[in-house]
Amino acid sequence: MTLRRVFDSIVTRLLVLALLIVAVGSVSRYYALTNFLHEDLSKVVEAQQLALANYVARDINDKVAQREDLVIHLAAVLPPDLLRQPSRLQDWLQEHYQYQPLFSVGLFVVGPDGRSIADYPPKAPRRQVQYGDRDYVRMAFQGHAYIGRAAIGRVTRVPVLPISAPVRGADGKVAAVLVGVTALAAPNFLDLMQHTRIGDYRDSFLLVSPRDRQFVSSSQPDMILQPLPPAGVNRLHDRAMAGFRGAGITVNAKGVEEVSAIASVPRAGWFVVARLPSSEAFATVERVKRFTLRNTLTALVVFTLFSTVGLYIVLRPLFQAARHADKMTRGELPLEPMPIRRNDEVGHLIAAFNRLLHKLNDKQEELARMAHHDSLTGLPNRSLLSDRLHMALAQAQRKDAKLALLFMDLDGFKTINDNLGHRAGDKVLWQVAQRLAGIVRQTDTLARIGGDEFVLLLSDLDDNAPEIAQTVAEKCLEAFDTPFLVAGSTCKLGISIGIALGDGMSTSDSLLQAADQAMYRVKKTGNSGSATICL
């Protein structure tokens, strides 16, 4: 065979054309996929960071507000005559400090001369300190409650946050200042933010005070109480100082690109920054790029080899189709439509075979659905519920999550069957299924496992599983407040619910049994059709 015949051969042309199509398609997908992943992942990461920043900001805001409200309340109820009796004033501070110990460093009262009158817990050095120069003392003497600048405590020598409120005398004028001081690293204050990381990134959170131009707290200890960087170093930080709240990609003061989200702490005038380096946020994109490139090259080599050999089969499509169909009948290949390479008699035969196979698959899917769903309500049956319960337990074990099982039995259903007939009862069951299905989430499973028995599986729950299960159960009970319309008349039904809570260590049988027993304990109370729930 001469070279000219090789180049003129349709086999060579088909092979070259196929390689070009695959190469162009692979390169196009490579760039399109990586760009799409980067843009899409940017939105997802920014949304996640913003949600996390909002959560942390709300938590900090609640804790600061709780402490400020407490100082204001204590200042309002402090008897003015105690200001002239330091020992009794100290007893008063001790009583209220022990009742609500929100201030880990303590409470103290500052007189007009700027010195402490009394404090608790008592610290001798505090009596020698002049507090008149502190911002929170000056503002309180002007009649305003004030969240002071976070600083190193003069007595404790650790980062603290002072909060003050004016104490008014009998004449309504400010006679003293009540100050509560909390260590930033005190339990149940800012310690959680200081020790929390996003992924493997150490410096994940920042708490910024625009008023004081300082980092109030940080998950990186050496940044706590440090001054803010100058304007122009971090574009997104400058926008945050100007009032921007949201998420974006920026370059921090260290020259590292990161995804940052900013959320307000309104009570103190601060804002929280949740940060994640772009290298970590978009690590998936880089892995996909390397994986795609490596597999594209491998696919081209493999395709070239197999295409050269496979062209012999392309010239004999009838034999190939026969062998393909034969392998499917023996179970060596999955039952799937065969490719149609030519629009000739063989192509028409393969098309007819594919249509027949499609009908067979439809029948199999219908049979599979009938085997796992209740024919009356369309809900999952006991078999499918068992499968999903096993999956939910496995997922709970992996994620250390919780789940809940609600076993529901209708009260008064037998009366409808006896008086109106089974057809009316079936209509009621269908209506019950529709009402309950409108309550559950898409990730939950509502199943009918018996005549008038339903089971609701709530999966992937957190430590609030009892409250969530209780809420869902109450919604189920409310769904039965409206009478059911059947056979031209209204019927009132009740429902008894038993709830079982579990985790990754539970078994499906034990959960079902516990929920069933809980439901029967409700039944035995004699309040048939009541809204009583037994946990």
Q: Which amino acid is at 529?
A: G
Contacts of the segment 309-315: beta carbons below 8 A, 24+ positions apart: 311/11, 311/14, 311/15, 314/14, 314/341
Reduce the DSSP state of residue 481 to 3 states and report it.
coil
Let me know if 452 is a catalytic residue.
yes
Structure tokens at 317: 């499509």
Please state, in angstroms and rounded to a whole number, the distance separating the CA atoms of residues 351 and 527. 64
Beta strands in 462-516 (DSSP E): 484-486, 489-491, 494-503
**Residues 423 and 530 sit within 8 Å (Cβ to Cβ):** no
**Nearest CA to 380 among 447, 438, 449, 454?**
447
Reduce the DSSP state of residue 378 to 3 states and report it.
coil
**Residues 111 and 105 sit within 8 Å (Cβ to Cβ):** no
Q: DSSP secondary structure string, 51-63? A: HHHHHHHHHHHHH
**Residues 155 and 134 sit within 8 Å (Cβ to Cβ):** no
Please state, in angstroms and rounded to a whole number, the distance separating the CA atoms of residues 328 and 318. 15
Q: Which amino acid is at 50?
A: L
How many CA atoms does the CB half-sphere of 224 hold within 13 Å? 21
Q: Which amino acid is at 285?
A: V
Please state, in angstroms and rounded to a whole number, the distance separating the CA atoms of residues 350 and 341. 9
Beta strands in 266-353 (DSSP E): 270-277
**Nearest CA to 509 among 398, 385, 399?**
385
Please state, in angstroms and rounded to a whole number, the distance separating the CA atoms of residues 70 and 93. 13
Catalytic choice (452, 462, 463, 509): 452
Provide the phi-psi class of 18: left if phi over 0, else alpha when psi is between -120 and 50, else beta. alpha
**Nearest CA to 273 among 308, 229, 309?**
229
Please state, in angstroms and rounded to a whole number, the distance separating the CA atoms of residues 472 and 458. 9
- Annotated active-site positions, please? 452
